[in-house]
Protein backbone atom coordinates (compact mmCIF):
# COMPACT_ATOMS: atom_id res chain seq x y z
CA UNK A 1 0.00 0.00 0.00
CA UNK A 2 1.42 3.33 -1.06
CA UNK A 3 -0.82 5.77 0.80
CA UNK A 4 -0.22 9.50 0.72
CA UNK A 5 -1.16 10.28 4.36
CA UNK A 6 -3.26 13.06 2.95
CA UNK A 7 -6.74 13.72 1.61
CA UNK A 8 -5.43 15.95 -1.19
CA UNK A 9 -4.62 15.04 -4.78
CA UNK A 10 -1.51 16.86 -6.08
CA UNK A 11 -3.90 18.95 -8.23
CA UNK A 12 -5.33 20.42 -5.00
CA UNK A 13 -8.63 18.52 -4.85
CA UNK A 14 -9.62 17.35 -1.36
CA UNK A 15 -11.40 14.00 -1.15
CA UNK A 16 -14.35 13.82 1.20
CA UNK A 17 -17.61 12.05 1.95
CA UNK A 18 -19.11 13.01 -1.44
CA UNK A 19 -16.41 10.97 -3.19
CA UNK A 20 -17.25 7.73 -1.38
CA UNK A 21 -19.24 5.46 -3.67
CA UNK A 22 -20.00 1.72 -3.59
CA UNK A 23 -18.89 -0.91 -4.28
CA UNK A 24 -16.73 -1.12 -1.19
CA UNK A 25 -13.96 -3.65 -0.63
CA UNK A 26 -12.65 -4.94 2.68
CA UNK A 27 -9.07 -4.30 3.77
CA UNK A 28 -6.86 -6.95 5.41
CA UNK A 29 -7.46 -7.59 9.12
CA UNK A 30 -6.08 -4.80 11.34
CA UNK A 31 -5.18 -2.71 8.30
CA UNK A 32 -4.16 0.86 9.23
CA UNK A 33 -4.29 -0.08 12.91
CA UNK A 34 -7.81 -1.45 12.47
CA UNK A 35 -9.20 2.02 11.73
CA UNK A 36 -9.88 1.46 8.01
CA UNK A 37 -13.01 -0.65 7.56
CA UNK A 38 -13.48 -0.39 3.77
CA UNK A 39 -11.91 0.84 0.55
CA UNK A 40 -13.74 2.88 -2.09
CA UNK A 41 -12.53 3.77 -5.58
CA UNK A 42 -12.57 7.43 -6.72
CA UNK A 43 -11.61 9.37 -9.83
CA UNK A 44 -10.24 12.87 -9.31
CA UNK A 45 -11.14 15.64 -11.76
CA UNK A 46 -7.53 15.69 -12.95
CA UNK A 47 -7.94 12.11 -14.13
CA UNK A 48 -6.05 10.22 -11.42
CA UNK A 49 -7.68 7.21 -9.80
CA UNK A 50 -7.44 6.71 -6.05
CA UNK A 51 -8.33 4.14 -3.46
CA UNK A 52 -9.99 5.85 -0.50
CA UNK A 53 -9.36 4.43 2.97
CA UNK A 54 -12.67 4.89 4.79
CA UNK A 55 -14.33 4.16 8.10
CA UNK A 56 -17.91 4.51 9.34
CA UNK A 57 -18.74 7.61 11.37
CA UNK A 58 -22.23 8.00 12.79
CA UNK A 59 -24.57 7.36 9.83
CA UNK A 60 -21.93 8.17 7.18
CA UNK A 61 -18.34 7.48 6.16
CA UNK A 62 -15.09 9.36 6.67
CA UNK A 63 -12.05 9.36 4.36
CA UNK A 64 -8.91 8.68 6.41
CA UNK A 65 -6.34 8.52 3.63
CA UNK A 66 -5.93 8.05 -0.12
CA UNK A 67 -3.75 5.82 -2.27
CA UNK A 68 -2.96 6.60 -5.93
CA UNK A 69 -3.81 3.86 -8.40
CA UNK A 70 -2.02 5.23 -11.44
CA UNK A 71 -3.01 8.17 -13.59
CA UNK A 72 -5.67 8.34 -16.23
CA UNK A 73 -5.87 11.05 -18.82
CA UNK A 74 -9.32 12.66 -18.79
CA UNK A 75 -9.09 12.79 -22.58
CA UNK A 76 -9.39 8.99 -22.50
CA UNK A 77 -12.45 9.02 -20.21
CA UNK A 78 -15.77 8.52 -21.97
CA UNK A 79 -18.26 11.37 -22.38
CA UNK A 80 -20.88 9.73 -20.16
CA UNK A 81 -18.33 9.09 -17.40
CA UNK A 82 -17.30 12.77 -17.55
CA UNK A 83 -20.97 13.77 -17.17
CA UNK A 84 -21.31 11.40 -14.20
CA UNK A 85 -18.16 12.81 -12.58
CA UNK A 86 -19.60 16.33 -12.89
CA UNK A 87 -22.94 15.22 -11.45
CA UNK A 88 -21.23 13.40 -8.55
CA UNK A 89 -19.36 16.60 -7.70
CA UNK A 90 -22.57 18.65 -7.75
CA UNK A 91 -21.63 20.54 -10.91
CA UNK A 92 -24.65 21.68 -12.91
CA UNK A 93 -23.95 21.22 -16.60
CA UNK A 94 -25.42 23.37 -19.37
CA UNK A 95 -28.19 21.54 -21.24
CA UNK A 96 -26.10 20.79 -24.35
CA UNK A 97 -22.64 20.78 -22.77
CA UNK A 98 -19.93 19.34 -24.98
CA UNK A 99 -16.85 17.42 -23.88
CA UNK A 100 -14.59 20.49 -23.73
CA UNK A 101 -17.07 22.41 -21.55
CA UNK A 102 -17.33 19.48 -19.12
CA UNK A 103 -13.54 19.13 -18.93
CA UNK A 104 -13.27 22.86 -18.19
CA UNK A 105 -15.88 22.65 -15.41
CA UNK A 106 -14.13 19.62 -13.87
CA UNK A 107 -10.98 21.74 -13.69
- Same domain for 83 and 38, yes or no, is no
Name which of 17, 101, 107 is nearest 59 in CA terms.
17
pTM over 0.75: no
What is residue 57's three-state secondary structure?
Answer: strand
What is residue 72's three-state secondary structure?
Answer: coil
- Same domain for 7 and 58, yes or no, is yes
Provide the residue range defining the domain that includes 43: 1-72
- Same domain for 21 and 9, yes or no, is yes
- Same domain for 66 and 87, yes or no, is no
- Same domain for 16 and 50, yes or no, is yes
Low-confidence stretches of the chain (pLDDT beneath 70) = 1-4, 70-76, 107
Which pLDDT tens digit goes with each residue over 8-23?
Answer: 888 889 999 999 998 9
Could you tell me whether strands 60-71 and 48-57 are parallel, antiparallel, or unpaired per DSSP bridges? antiparallel
What is residue 76's three-state secondary structure?
Answer: helix
| Number of domains forming the structure of the chain | 2
Amino acid sequence: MDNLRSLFCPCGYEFGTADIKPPFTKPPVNFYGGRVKRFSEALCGCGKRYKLYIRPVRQSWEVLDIEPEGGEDLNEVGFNELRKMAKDRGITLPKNANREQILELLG
